[in-house]
Amino acid sequence: MIGPNGVGKSTTLKVICGLVLPHFGEILFQGKKINGSQPYQLVRKGLSLVSEGRKVFTSMTVMKNLEMGGYILKKNIANSVNGKNKLKNSIKNIFEIFPVLKERRKQKAGALSSGEQQLLAIARALILNPKLFLLDEPSLGLSPNNVKIVFEKIREINKKGTTILVVEQNARMALEYADRGYIFEVGGIIMNDTAKNLLNNEKVKKSFLGEINYFG
């Protein structure tokens, strides 16, 4: 999901996750209306959001951050042993995707690089194996090399079967890694197509991959 600043991209993610109430309309997830659901209820239904700015628990270790992400696994399963085992298996799977976090698991999150903190924020949200994974500006504040690493991991997660919706300021990078793109302007979606077609669209090139605002 790409578009100019201030048109409602991040707000759309917050509405989907129940953090902001919609003024009208319906939000459907897996064919069911989820308007009015609390964020914690939507997490249990399979929605997960990584908000802008990473927001890891800097004073806690990497491992504790991951365990916080899986807290409801232990809370919701009557047999605490089964809950702990499920969390343990989830963390094991996370370490297979993010080996650098396994190496840093005993370190404080605040000691990680900005790129590693973003990977930790993503990993923490993946602990519950969401059906729909929402990311808000995952490249924000990262070096070009770390941006590439983050998007490679996003692609890897998607290939494992998780549906992902990304709001991203780096339009070219987002479209290069996406299957489909949605262009927002004030009022809603003005264009949607395969990412490949959008990358080759002259209007998109001029507006979001170039120097002039065609749609303005």
Domains present along the chain, CATH in parentheses: 9-56+114-208 (3.40.50.300)
pLDDT at 214: 41
- CB distance 82 to 51 below 8 Å: no
Q: Which two tokens stand for residue 87?
A: 């969390």
Average pLDDT for residues 155-166, to the nearest whole number? 95
Looking at per-residue confidence, does 82 or 6 come out higher?
A: 6
Query: pTM of the predicted model, to two decimals?
Result: 0.87
Strands 180-185 and 188-194: antiparallel
The per-residue pLDDT for range 25-35, each reduced to its tens digit, is: 999 999 999 99
For 9-131, list the strands marked E by DSSP. Answer: 28-29, 32-33, 47-50
pLDDT at 86: 85
- C-alpha dihedral sign at 117, 118, 119, 124: positive
